[in-house]
Amino acid sequence: MSNAVGIYAVEDVLLVSIKDDITDSDVIELQDGLSEEVVRTGARGVVIDISALDIVDTFVGRIFAQLSGVAKLLDAETYIVGMRPAVAMTLVELGMTLPESNMALSVSQALRRIRANRTR
């Protein structure tokens, strides 16, 4: 995987960090690699930190949606965290509200929710 993306297993959650110079092929590679990691590690949650991203366009938004859908089929919840306000406003204008993904403001908030949902 290119060094624009890092996947770290923390207990039963995969933390994904993304750098701002990510390319479309890096995003596709992430989608493939992540679904395999979910199965390999038995992860129950995926947390994608996009706080380094200046923009999320329709391509990246579509892959995030697919990735969340695939993770769900593999019994893992996906949270997207750290979205900048300007990115959120732009996504709404693009008509992309990412209904397939859960949102959280921070990694720790996402982790708390994943844990809470699991004990329910």
Residue 52 interacts with another protein (CB under 8 A): yes or no: no
Residue 87 interacts with another protein (CB under 8 A): yes or no: yes
Q: Which has the closest alpha carbon to 48: 64, 62, 35, 63?
A: 64
Q: Pick the closer one to another protein by CB: 39 or 92.
A: 92
Q: Pick the closer one to another protein by CB: 63 or 103.
A: 63
The contacts of residue 112 (CB under 8 Å, 6+ apart) are: none
Contact between 31 and 66 under an 8 Å Cβ cutoff? The reply is yes
Q: Pick the closer one to another protein by CB: 11 or 21.
A: 21
CA distance 1 to 26: 7
x-or-dash string of contact with another protein, 97-116, rule CB under 8 A: --------------------
